[in-house]
Amino acid sequence: MINVIAALSVREGQTAAFESAVAKARPEMLADRGCLRYDLQRSSERESDYVLLEAYDSSEAIRRHRELRAYREFGEVVGSLLTAEPVIWVLEPVGDQCEPM
């Protein structure tokens, strides 16, 4: 399993639009073969900071996911709502230090 963490900072006054965009895109993202998790979390310290927690069954699933029409459309909609480019980490398990989902 490969995890992806995307940290996003949303422009002031745009949090409702951002959350709506994620809610609209989420079902199609989760329907993509190999996508195991696509969860939005908000910072408890700053309401405009979010993290998308994603999990995939393979590197191929991540590559395929990034080619989805929904992924591209989501990026176009959300891009104008952010204060900066998202910070994205792609994380791979280390040995037997991770439990499978």
94 φψ region: left (φ > 0), alpha (ψ -120 to 50), beta (else)? beta
Domain that holds residue 84: 2-91
DSSP 15: H
Position 101 scores a pLDDT of 59
Higher pLDDT, 97 or 73: 73
Percent of the chain whose predicted confidence (pLDDT) is above 70: 95
Question: Considering the domain boundaries, does residue 22 fall inside one?
Answer: yes
Question: Considering the domain boundaries, does residue 97 fall inside one?
Answer: no
CATH number, domain of 71, equals 3.30.70.100
Does residue 95 surpass a pLDDT of 90?
no
Please choose, from the candidates 52, 6, 55, the residue with its C-alpha nearest in 3D space to the C-alpha of residue 34.
55
Question: Considering the domain boundaries, does residue 80 fall inside one?
Answer: yes
Position 93 scores a pLDDT of 81
Q: pLDDT per residue over 36-59, tens digit each? A: 999 999 999 999 999 999 999 999
Q: How many domains does the chain have?
A: 1
